[in-house]
A and B are shown apart, each in its own frame.
Chain A
């Protein structure tokens, strides 16, 4: 099996790598780039724990090959914010009980980021639909929906 040289931007940094062509994007991020915030939860594209942004669009990295992201710009949860400079969604998830065990949290943050980039002032039903590709077993989704709504309201001045 041949490898492929890929060149991409991950969390603002340029990355060049040689990957096996059957390497999943999720494995590439976790194992090759040590970005373990991207989680493996089902590896069948249902749970959304492995969600990342590719060129701004939220995708499931377990349903993508690393070879496919050549030339793209990626954001993983590690690229959202850092200590002292958290992303508003990270702040809001913390403040509104948008997480408990935290395993699903990176995926939800990225799905929510994608939503708010397209729809800065979503209704609750739109928030729930936008998060329907992510599973959480702890929060009952209430804290998550509250967190996303709150970011929208505070940045939208409602």
Chain B
């Protein structure tokens, strides 16, 4: 073993090229002969396309092609629901849907040509409100109706649970859509070559899922497409398989048979959707006087917009994941996903967890008050523990939730702040908290969750890793490099991770479901140990000793028994090539976690590990202007083992701020289904000035299934923010906000209503 690399707060392996401004993102890729495309979007939420006249656009000098729905493959693409085409064919289902594309010598010419396309629409009645989606007379988004998915789960005896409960509380919560807000708007460069192959450089969380979707949408064999991941400027779920511009770019390249670049403007990026799924959640819970939850009834109405995408999987998480965080037996859920004539919504960091976390943690706070019990105590009372099997059959191999609760309680000064007298001034402070869980990996994405890593050790003893798991900024490559370097006994700087490329990397699912550390980390560990074994074997041969007395320390193979027996690693690597059949060190390892697909009742251990987090916040509410400011926050993440604490804190801090944005600042506004604030001046994401110092803590529960004990981080961390803030607002001013976002107007209205009721 070398000096510790795993567990150290090291800079990300990509940090230098990024601070130098030399990392190449999709939008920076330039290919000789590259053309530029711009997309024409529907101004209507629901309309029949009567005709499209492209003649004037085609006549504009510099225009190479104008493509409409009439030109695209008939085959539809989608996750489970195959319902989208490269461009809208005859019908648009949301304002912003792509109806035509212009390929030209420059973006400016393409943009000008868009204005010359004449589309005759026949507007139809639009369904904009999910509440009315299942009414008989509602306009239909798809011929088969507006119900995209329904989930019903029942365990134990919910009615008996309620009948025996000491207290019962029910309430309805609403959560709104959040724009992922990655700083890099989607960009893709696609090019065909003389062999007929289509190469696509794009910003994606999964090159193989991207390739599969391109094959479907373009109706051509998978192997005729090569997807290469450029540096990704943030994804947050939207760049898994739901964004559409990479599909359009790839198709356009096949039409003009030349390289085509589609770089979305921010407005384009916002209009094209990929926001989180908005929900209405009705929650009813029964508890005993001691705080034990004895019954839970959940009804979810979720809106996926015009196309289902990943939203059914997202809703499944909303419907049942948080049940597993607590020791409950009686739970019933009915969840319905409906279509509307609005932008498609789907995967977003937390994958449906934030929505239910808001409802559950708000509810827990209310019921704690009803019981006269401290909210943290109530969470502790119900928390699932290491070794438990949850109500839905999840094997909890490690659970650091109690420790997370301890950390946030101490760090925020919970006991003192809860005990202080309620403020009566203009600015009032309050504290609130929330507790959450998330998966690390998930077999339900295709009943497979494996990961393969290929490791090459070069003749100079340095390593190259081939994987198709994706680093989108979260640090996957750094995690892999650290494990590799530590196991091989070489410096971190001697490890390189190749950018994911479907033609050279092994098949992987990519960065979804917080699965990369737990699965790819494991594969990496196996590969590194395998390579180490080969090196030691070769060294043993060369040095004339037993392999098991050798180890690699700081790039030198040496004997533990005889200090004179050693050789520099490069020497052994060269020896391996030249003296062992000409073969360099090239190993491959796969890790396929021992999980199961859930059964038809949604029962079964879907993930190798489960991660937990808790967060406490302090807010200050301006009772005259309704402004809420988070003045302090502490987020504690049970990530199993922090392979890189700097990265884990980075994930926690970023997640905490993204959740502050969702809760207080970001508010997508529609008028007749059109986005009214599709720019970053009006859709206001948090700035450095608008957030406090973010504090985060790490709990290491050392999961038995995690590589070196590690689980996923990051997604868990985005779950508790919203309810922690809502609970803190209630603590500050006695106003319970149940529909997000918490706007100044809602604060003022709540205060006014409270005043009225006190005077009534």
- A residues near B (Cβ < 8 Å) are 30, 35-47, 49, 76-78, 80-83, 86, 90, 93-97, 99-106, 109, 124, 127-129, 131-132, 134-145
Contact = CB atoms under 8 A, between A and B. Distances in A.
Contact of B679 (A42, A78, A99): A42
A104 to B, nearest CB: 5
Contact of B27 (A40, A44, A99): A40
A43 B266 contact: yes
Given A49-B183, A103-B25, A135-B687, A44 B14 contact: no
B520 interface: no
B266 A44 contact: yes
Nearest to B656: A140
B81 interface: no
A30 B261 CA distance: 15
B688 A99 contact: no
Contacts of A82: 20
Contacts of B22: 37, 78
Question: Interface of chain A, helix or strand or loop or mixed?
Answer: loop
A42 B266 contact: yes
User: How extensive is the interface on chain B, given as a class?
Assistant: 35 or more
B693 A142 contact: yes
Nearest to A102: B18
Contact of B650 (A76, A95, A100): A100
A30 B336 CA distance: 47
Given A137-B658, A141-B657, A100 B474 contact: yes
13 contacts: A39-B184, A76-B21, A77-B20, A78-B22, A86-B20, A97-B650, A99-B12, A128-B688, A135-B687, A137-B654, A140-B691, A143-B650, A145-B693
Contacts of A95: 11
Interface stretch (B111-119, B136-144, B228-236, B743-751): B228-236
B473 A138 contact: yes
Question: Interface of chain B, helix or strand or loop or mixed?
Answer: loop
A68 B20 CA distance: 26
A74 B657 CA distance: 33
B654 A100 contact: yes
Contacts of A135: 181, 183, 680, 685, 687
A150 B233 CA distance: 25
B19 A105 contact: yes
B419 interface: no
Contacts of B24: 36
B182 A137 contact: yes
B19 A36 contact: no
B653 A129 contact: no
Given A93-B15, A101-B233, 14 more contacts: A39-B183, A41-B185, A43-B266, A82-B20, A90-B20, A100-B12, A103-B25, A103-B233, A131-B688, A132-B689, A135-B181, A135-B680, A135-B687, A138-B474
Nearest to A31: B30
A37 B21 contact: yes
B16 interface: yes
B688 A132 contact: yes
A83 B16 contact: yes
A41 B12 contact: no
Contacts of A46: 679-681
B27 A136 contact: no
B683 to A, nearest CB: 10
Contact of B234 (A42, A137, A143): A137
B18 A139 contact: no
A141 B688 contact: yes
B675 interface: no
B647 interface: yes
B441 interface: no
Contacts of B15: 93-94, 99, 102
A143 B656 CA distance: 13
Interface in B4-41: 9, 11-12, 14-25, 27-28
B386 interface: no
A44 B680 contact: yes
Given A44-B679, A131-B688, A137-B182, A78 B11 contact: no
A15 to B, nearest CB: 17
B16 to A, nearest CB: 6
| Of listed B24, B236, B472, B688, residue having the most chain A CB within 10 A | B688
B506 to A, nearest CB: 24
Given A101-B473, A135-B685, A90 B232 contact: no
Closest 3 CB pairs of A and B: A37-B21, A101-B473, A102-B18
Nearest to A78: B21
Given A78-B22, A99-B19, A102-B231, A143 B473 contact: no
B555 interface: no
Contacts of A143: 646, 649-650, 653
B655 interface: yes
Contacts of B473: 100-103, 138
Given A141-B657, A141-B688, A143-B650, A101 B182 contact: yes
B69 interface: no
B33 to A, nearest CB: 15
Nearest to A20: B108
Contacts of A38: 21
Contacts of A102: 14-15, 17-19, 23, 231, 233, 473
Contacts of B687: 128, 131-132, 134-135, 141
B565 interface: no
Nearest to B27: A40
Given A90-B19, A103-B25, A97 B181 contact: no
A105 B266 contact: no
B640 interface: no
Contacts of B182: 101, 103, 137
Nearest to A141: B688
Contacts of B234: 100-101, 103, 137-138
Nearest to B683: A46
A84 to B, nearest CB: 10
A25 B11 CA distance: 32
A97 to B, nearest CB: 4
